[in-house]
């Protein structure tokens, strides 16, 4: 690949800021620094660009950027300041309070990440790659554009053969939405059927993304981003049709989707594959919340908010996986950890796996010792009450999320695949679409969907898919911290509402994030209203 330092800011889309990216992979750095290559040069590594575009999916599995924007800005999770820990100049608190600016690091980096991956996809599509490579790149480009549309509204683009010294053109939110839908509908019939490896781009994944687009089309094409929205019956029927086209089933156990060998789950429609040593961000899924002295040791940062936790029956398996293997390895449940924290197998109350004489523990039973905080007090996870925590509560305040079961054998390079699309989500989309006026279709009825989701072991929270309020609650209970909460809250008109740690109603502008300041070097981009 060719680097052109003189054109460092004259990129595919123009004005793409270069600082603050979380990943250090060479392939993406090339995409950011380089100019678009022409097929005539004979030197475009389309396979390398496609590999980079696939690797970009790993960015969704971290604890910052798109994950933070989509989940921490909602009623589910907060990142409080704990004394000298976890302040980051208030970045996490600003997300939860919905007071971000156009200079916010996670807003800026999300924009950069998504557009750099569109760049990688275009290098494949525009440079005579193989038919298989091109169709994969078109799907990935559609996925990245979906996220740009959802988060930022406007979407820069370049047509093949355009003058690279000119500013990129910009789609409106409605035009970008229609482009992505058209792209996916053009390729869905040519994609292969899903195999046991859901990380391979497949037809079910495209059907899912099309259903997601049609479900949100009223939001994405509205002249007023904050609504109210008018959901067209024809669009809702499209949702039903695309969900019915998915060939899948609900996993026998909810946690089949999140265990280290979750690649065996029939429910996962699309995933990012993690293999030991591939540099995945998956460990952040448990380290972001667990305490320093826990096993697995964590960063003692993020917390699930009690108001959301209380929407569950406390025995619900989705937040309380107390399987013997989980307790044996970690001392505590997987899901949402509440109350006294206990030791894991062969770990003491300080999280150590060896004593002061550096002798490894081999006989310490799990769940026999109370874990202590750094002041030697019992570590008890209680509800979070403030975004700035001090005093004795500094380490224990906040219920802690563990959505994925840690890979005990490979904590630093876990085998858990990161779930991007899940069939349970598709079924809930169908139930919502029918309630919003779509035809019932030929697949599972709403009653059958409800039975399938509530019939899994340990699902004890009441579920009602006959009302929009019930569907909204069900989506939160089922899909917590899977990256969809912000999108759901906007579509249901709840995103700007006051909540426990944000007692005032937000300005309507926050339904879209601001265009980062450096991106506005492209005059075709206009700052979103209110910023």
Per-residue pLDDT of the chain (531 residues; tens, 9 = 90+): 323 322 332 345 544 433 333 333 222 223 332 234 444 445 789 999 999 999 999 999 999 999 999 999 999 999 999 988 888 999 999 999 999 999 999 999 999 999 999 999 999 999 988 999 999 999 999 999 999 999 999 999 998 888 878 899 999 999 999 999 999 999 999 999 999 999 999 999 999 999 999 999 999 999 999 999 999 999 999 999 999 999 999 999 999 999 999 999 999 999 999 987 677 899 999 999 999 999 999 999 999 999 999 999 999 999 999 999 999 999 999 999 999 999 999 999 999 999 999 999 999 999 999 999 999 999 999 999 999 999 989 999 999 999 999 999 888 889 999 999 999 999 999 999 999 999 999 999 999 999 999 999 999 999 999 999 999 999 999 999 999 999 999 999 999 999 999 999 999 999 999 999 999 999 999 999 999
Other C-beta atoms lying within 10 Å of the C-beta of residue 21: 18
Specify the pLDDT at position 223. 95
CA dist 210 and 215 (Å) reads 8
CA dist 327 and 405 (Å) reads 11
Q: State residue 182 phi and psi, 5-degree precision.
A: -60, -45
Name the residue among 124, 122, 117, 133 with its Cα closest to residue 187.
133
Beta-carbon contacts of 40 under 8 Å, excluding residues fewer than 6 positions away, are: none
pLDDT in tens, 249-277: 999 999 999 999 999 999 999 999 998 76
pLDDT in tens, 485-518: 999 999 999 999 999 999 999 999 999 999 999 9
Specify the pLDDT at position 24. 30
Specify the pLDDT at position 31. 32
CA dist 124 and 132 (Å) reads 10
Other C-beta atoms lying within 10 Å of the C-beta of residue 224: 10
Q: What is this structure's pTM?
A: 0.93
Name the residue among 417, 491, 153, 379 with its Cα closest to residue 261.
417
Specify the pLDDT at position 17. 38
CA dist 504 and 494 (Å) reads 13
**CA of 279: how far to CAs of 274, 288, 403, in Å?**
8, 17, 20
CA dist 386 and 195 (Å) reads 46
CA dist 156 and 179 (Å) reads 12
Look up residue 419 and give its DSSP letter. E
Q: Is 175 exposed, middle or buried (0-12, 13-18, 19+ CB in 10 A)?
A: middle
Paired tokens of 281: 């961000």
Are β-strands 320-321 and 303-304 bridged in parallel, bridged antiparallel, or unpaired? unpaired
CA dist 488 and 468 (Å) reads 11
Are 513 and 519 in contact, with CB atoms under 8 Å apart?
no
Name the residue among 137, 235, 140, 212 with its Cα closest to residue 423.
212
CA dist 50 and 56 (Å) reads 10
Specify the pLDDT at position 26. 29
Paired tokens of 68: 């933070």
CA dist 97 and 304 (Å) reads 15
CATH number for 1-190+512-531: choose from 3.40.190.170, 2.60.120.10, 1.25.40.390, 3.30.56.10.
1.25.40.390
Q: At what angle do helices 46-55 and 105-125 cross, to 10 degrees?
A: 150
Specify the pLDDT at position 29. 29
Beta-carbon contacts of 29 under 8 Å, excluding residues fewer than 6 positions away, are: none
Specify the domain boundaries for CATH 1.25.40.390 within the chain: 1-190+512-531
3-state secondary structure of 24: coil
Q: Is 40 exposed, middle or buried (0-12, 13-18, 19+ CB in 10 A)?
A: exposed
**Measured torsion, CA atoms of residues 105, 107, 109, 111, in degrees rounded to the nearest 10:** -160
State the alpha helices, DSSP H only, in 129-268.
131-152, 173-187, 203-220, 233-244
Specify the pLDDT at position 158. 92
Q: State residue 268 phi and psi, 5-degree precision.
A: -75, 120
State the alpha helices, DSSP H only, in 274-422.
284-287, 306-309, 324-330
3-state secondary structure of 190: helix
Are 269 and 248 in contact, with CB atoms under 8 Å apart?
yes
Specify the pLDDT at position 13. 55
**Measured torsion, CA atoms of residues 368, 398, 65, 405, in degrees rounded to the nearest 10:** 30
């Amino acid at each position: 690949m060719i680097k052109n330092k003189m054109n460092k800011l004259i990129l595919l889309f123009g004005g793409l800021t270069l600082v603050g990216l979380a990943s250090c992979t060479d392939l993406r750095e090339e995409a950011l620094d380089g100019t678009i290559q022409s097929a005539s040069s004979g030197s475009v590594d389309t396979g390398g660009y496609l590999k980079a575009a696939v690797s970009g999916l790993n960015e969704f599995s971290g604890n910052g950027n798109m994950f933070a924007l989509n989940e921490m800005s909602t009623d589910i999770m907060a990142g409080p300041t704990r004394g000298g820990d976890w302040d980051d100049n208030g970045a996490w608190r600003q997300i939860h309070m919905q007071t971000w600016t156009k200079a916010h690091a996670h807003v800026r980096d999300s924009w950069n990440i998504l557009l750099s991956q569109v760049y990688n996809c275009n290098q494949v599509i525009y440079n005579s790659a193989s038919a298989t490579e091109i169709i994969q790149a078109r799907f990935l480009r559609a996925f990245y554009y979906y996220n740009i549309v959802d988060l930022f509204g406007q979407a820069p683009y370049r047509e093949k053969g355009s003058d690279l010294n000119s500013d990129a053109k910009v789609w409106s939110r409605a035009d970008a939405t229609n482009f992505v839908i058209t792209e996916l509908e053009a390729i869905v019939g040519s994609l292969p059927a899903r195999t046991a490896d859901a990380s391979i781009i497949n037809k079910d994944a495209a059907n899912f993304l099309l259903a997601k687009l049609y479900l949100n089309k009223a939001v994405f094409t509205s002249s007023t981003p904050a609504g109210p929205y008018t959901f067209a019956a024809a669009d809702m029927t499209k949702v039903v049709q695309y969900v019915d086209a998915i060939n899948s089933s609900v996993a026998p156990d909810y946690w089949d989707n999140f265990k280290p060998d979750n690649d065996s789950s029939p429910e996962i429609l699309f995933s990012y594959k993690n293999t030991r040593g591939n540099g995945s961000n998956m460990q952040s899924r448990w380290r972001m919340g667990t305490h320093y002295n826990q096993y697995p040791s964590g960063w003692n940062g993020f917390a699930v908010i009690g108001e959301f936790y209380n929407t569950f029956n406390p025995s619900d398996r989705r937040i309380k996986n107390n399987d013997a293997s989980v307790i044996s390895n970690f001392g505590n449940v997987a899901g949402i950890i509440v109350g006294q924290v206990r030791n894991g197998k062969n770990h003491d109350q300080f999280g150590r796996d060896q004593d002061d004489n550096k002798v490894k523990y081999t006989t310490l039973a799990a769940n026999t010792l109370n874990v202590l905080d750094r002041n030697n007090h019992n570590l008890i996870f209680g509800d979070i009450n403030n975004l700035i925590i001090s005093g004795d509560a500094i380490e224990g305040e906040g219920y802690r999320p563990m959505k994925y079961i840690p890979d005990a054998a490979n904590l630093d390079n876990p085998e858990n695949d990161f779930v991007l699309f899940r069939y349970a989500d598709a079924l809930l989309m169908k139930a919502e679409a029918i309630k919003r006026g779509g035809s019932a279709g030929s697949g599972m009825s709403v009653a059958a969907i409800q039975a399938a989701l509530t019939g899994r072991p340990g699902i004890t929270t009441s579920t009602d898919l006959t009302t929009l309020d019930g569907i909204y609650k069900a989506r939160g209970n089922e899909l917590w911290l899977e990256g969809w909460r912000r999108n759901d809250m906007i579509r249901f008109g709840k995103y700007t509402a006051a909540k426990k740690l944000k007692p005032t109603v937000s300005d309507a502008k926050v339904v879209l994030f601001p265009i980062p300041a450096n991106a506005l070097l492209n005059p075709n981009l206009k700052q979103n209203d209110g910023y």
